[in-house]
Amino acid sequence: MLSSASVEIHPSQFPERVRAELLESLRSRGINHKFHYDSVKQTMQWLALHQAYAPSRTDAECSAMYARSFDDVARRISASKVHLIGLGCGGGQKDSRLIGRLQATQREVYYTPLDVSTAMVLVARNAALQVMPQTHCFPFVCDLALIEDLSEHLDHSSGGLGMSQGIARLFTFFGMIPNFEPQAILPRLAELVTPQDYLLFSANLAPGQDYAAGVHRVLPLYDNALTREWLMTFLLDLGVDRADGEIRFKVEDTGELKRITAFFEFTRAREIRVDQERFVFSTGESIRLFFSYRHTPGLVRSFLQKHGLEVRAQWIAQSGEEGVFLVERHL
């Protein structure tokens, strides 16, 4: 039987801030990804999509790659107590596996599942409680792109756990980097991760030697019915009709990186109202719903290094579609 949960919610996810972000998304015609995880329905849709298409769920060798990375980091940490902080925890499946591996090496583990979605944080919490006591789990809802005081929060939350001596901090950042502009999120990671911390960082990769061809090769992981329905839910909740247009996917070149982007193209005019705000989309106009950057191991190393983050070890799936990187801050 599931227990009741106490979840801390940071002001970056208070209603007035969320509303302002929504209005800005509609004005700019580029939707903040947070709005695709806003409701319980969207969370369940994303979890089903992840189960069906994520290599870590569909490819046994990719799952084994994560297990190897978990074994390695468990060997590297010498402290008897570990605070695992899941940045963008999602459903928490990988974090829970990592918790179990740390516990198998006789470590006491504390867990902060952190996400922009309250529903997702609760799913991750419930997954963690299968392997750890409730007293060691501290759910936290915030927007990583907006929060300015996360380090302070981690230091003083959970009864001052972060201020305790002898507790190693291990951050996970699984599946998050594709949906952020690198220049926006990497400085935040660099500020957060101290030279005493560990960071397990995963990236969606373009398989093969030809970067452009590799990005096109993975397009079906995005251009499918489950992804379309998940993305469409946001528009339907705003009053857009399915017959107003269609979702199209394309590969964009942004300079050093390529990304897969989904747009909704209007085939007839539609007005969207949010309280007193009015947004008119004309026939032929489009709104960007989603993007996912694809990297190579070399690009991951290069981008992290620019922000003082050094890759100490890496594990690449045989398919070449996903990689995990153990990262530490330069002294």
Angle between helices 182-192 and 150-160 (to 10 degrees): 40
DSSP strand pairing (258-266 vs 245-253) = antiparallel
Structure confidence by residue, pLDDT tens digits, 61-75 = 999 999 999 999 999
The pLDDT tens digits for 88-132 are 999 999 999 999 999 999 999 999 999 999 999 999 999 999 999
Whole-prediction pTM value? 0.94
Tokens of residue 315, six digits: 């594990």
pLDDT of residue 205: 97
The topology (CATH level 3) of 32-207+295-329 is Rossmann fold (3.40.50)
CA 273, 277, 282, 284 dihedral sign is negative
Domain boundary assignment for the chain: 32-207+295-329
pLDDT at position 85: 96
Structure tokens at 297: 């191991």
The residues of the chain scoring below 50 in pLDDT are none
Q: What's the pLDDT tens digit per position in 5-37?
A: 999 999 999 999 999 999 999 999 999 999 999
DSSP H stretches of helix in 224-309:
225-238, 297-305
- Mean of all residue pLDDT scores within the chain: 94
Which pLDDT score, from 0 to 100, does residue 158 have?
Answer: 64
